[in-house]
Amino acid sequence: MEEKIKAVLEEIRPAIQGHGGDVEFVSLEGKTAKLHLVGHCGSCPYAMMTLKNGIEAALREKVDPEITVERV
């Protein structure tokens, strides 16, 4: 599952980088992907929206419908 998560992150990375940020995979604990937002995303007031409505939604669609993401 970890490799699938990383592949999805690579797909959406250009959109995140287009806003001056980036996302790093930290770990997978059960069905919780722990991610680190960097650059502008690290301090953006909309970071949690990006994490849940963007990244988590993509992972649920392409990896596992029960996966969740956590910001670390």
pLDDT of 30: 96
Question: Which CATH number goes with the domain that contains 26?
Answer: 3.30.300.130
pLDDT of 36: 94
pLDDT tens-digit map of 53-65: 999 999 999 999 9
pTM confidence score:
0.90
CA angle 35, 5, 68 (to 5 degrees): 60
Number of domains in the chain: 1
Q: What string of H, E and C letters represents the secondary structure of the chain?
A: CHHHHHHHHHHHHHHHHCCCEEEEEEEEECCEEEEEEEEHHHHCCCHHHHHHHHHHHHHHHHCCCCCEEEEC
Domain residue limits at 27: 2-71
Low-confidence stretches of the chain (pLDDT beneath 70): none
